[in-house]
C-alpha cells in the first residue's frame, strides 16, 4: 500500500506541473521555452547554436488577455508577448498555432512568431472546397 501511495503521489506531481510553452520565430531562427510555473525562459538561437537561460523579471496577463514575459537585463533586456488566439504562424509553414507571439530586445527589431504546448500543438489548416 505504501508503494501504491508513493506511485500515486509521483503521478499527481507530474500531471500537476504547468506545461512549457514553446515559441518559434524566423529570421532569426529562435526558439523560446517558457515555464510559467518556474518563471524561467530558455532562449535558443538556432542559427548560432547558442542557448541562454533566464529568470523572468516580469510576468503577467494584460487587460487584453496577452501574457507578457520580461527577462534579461541591460542590453539583453527582452520582452515576449503571446496570446491564445488560434492564429499563430511561424512564417515558414502553413501550420496554424494556438498562440501568436511577438518578441523584442532593447537592441533589436520586433520578431513575430507562434507558440504551442504539448497538449495544444499546431495543426494543419482546414481544407476549404
> With 0-12 CB in 10 A as exposed, 13-18 as middle and 19+ as buried, what is 7?
exposed
Residue 6 C-alpha cell reads as 508513493
What is the rounded CA–CA span in Å between residue 35 and residue 82? 13
Per residue in 62-98, is it b (16+ CB within 10 Å) or e — as a string? eeeebbebbbbeeeeebbbbbbbeeebbbeeeebbbb
Supply the pTM of this predicted model: 0.81
Residue with C-alpha cell 524566423?
A: 26
What is the rounded CA–CA span in Å between residue 80 and residue 107? 14
What is the rounded CA–CA span in Å between residue 45 and residue 19? 22
Give strand pairing partners of 35. 20, 40
Residue 32 C-alpha cell reads as 523560446
Q: Is domain 19-116 in CATH 2.60.40, yes or no?
A: no
SS3 115: strand
Band of residue 71 on the pLDDT scale cut at 50, 70, 90: very high
Residue 78 C-alpha cell reads as 527582452
In the chain, domain spans: 19-116
Report pLDDT digits (tens) over 14-44: 445 679 999 999 988 999 999 999 999 999 9
Average pLDDT over residues 66-82: 93
Amino acid at each position: 500500500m505504501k508503494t501504491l501511495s508513493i506511485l500515486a503521489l509521483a503521478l499527481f506531481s507530474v500531471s500537476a506541473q504547468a506545461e512549457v510553452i514553446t515559441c518559434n520565430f524566423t529570421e532569426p531562427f529562435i526558439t523560446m521555452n517558457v515555464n510559467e510555473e518556474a518563471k524561467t525562459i530558455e532562449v535558443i538561437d538556432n542559427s548560432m547554436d547558442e542557448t541562454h537561460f533566464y529568470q523572468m523579471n516580469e510576468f503577467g496577463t494584460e487587460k487584453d488577455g496577452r501574457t507578457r514575459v520580461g527577462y534579461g537585463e541591460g542590453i539583453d533586456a527582452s520582452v515576449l508577448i503571446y496570446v491564445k488566439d488560434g492564429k499563430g504562424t511561424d512564417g515558414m509553414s502553413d501550420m496554424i498555432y494556438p498562440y501568436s507571439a511577438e518578441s523584442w530586445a532593447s537592441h533589436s527589431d520586433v520578431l513575430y512568431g507562434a507558440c504551442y504546448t504539448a497538449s495544444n500543438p499546431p495543426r494543419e489548416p482546414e481544407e476549404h472546397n
